[in-house]
Amino acid sequence: DERGRATVFACLDKADLPHVAPVGRLDMASEGLLLFTNDNAWAARLTDPASHIDKTYHVQVACLADETLTCRLEEGLRIEGDFLAAKKARVLRHGTRTSWLELVLDEGKNSLSRRLLEALDIEVLRLVRIAIGPLVLGDLPKGAVRRLTPEEVGALKGNAGGENSKFEIR
């Protein structure tokens, strides 16, 4: 980091890996599933907006969300020349002043979920990526690392599994 802040690479220090790079990104205020690879072609395919690989997020928002909001998120908005929309949106649960949403995005536009919610004057309190395609974060502890199985890599490459295959990361 240009400012000397800690990065996700600190999690890889003891992982005994060759040089790898992140596939996509999570901004400083986000957490969750992040893939690393040394296969540039594979990374490019996963991050290419034309691939439409679903990325699923759980988002805590500073409002009591309802079906009207989830419909607006799916209908989308034009923001600064970009059309932004969630592929799917649903309310997971409510607190007394906050809600958790599940957003499924299939485009790799920068900070799409944050930009979409902020355009609706909704503050994002927490954002966690819980899945990329068929890979589901599961109960892997924060900061932990594990290698993907050949089947998981194949499913992301489109060579195995299929749309209904799910792999939980543990």
Q: Known catalytic residues? A: 27
Cα(32)–Cα(84) distance, rounded to whole angstroms? 22
Do residues 134 and 166 make contact, with C-beta atoms less than 8 angstroms apart?
yes
CA dihedral defined by 114, 115, 116, 117, rounded to 10 degrees?
50
* DSSP assignments along 116-148, one per residue: HHHHTT--EEEEEEEEETTEE-TTPPTT---PP
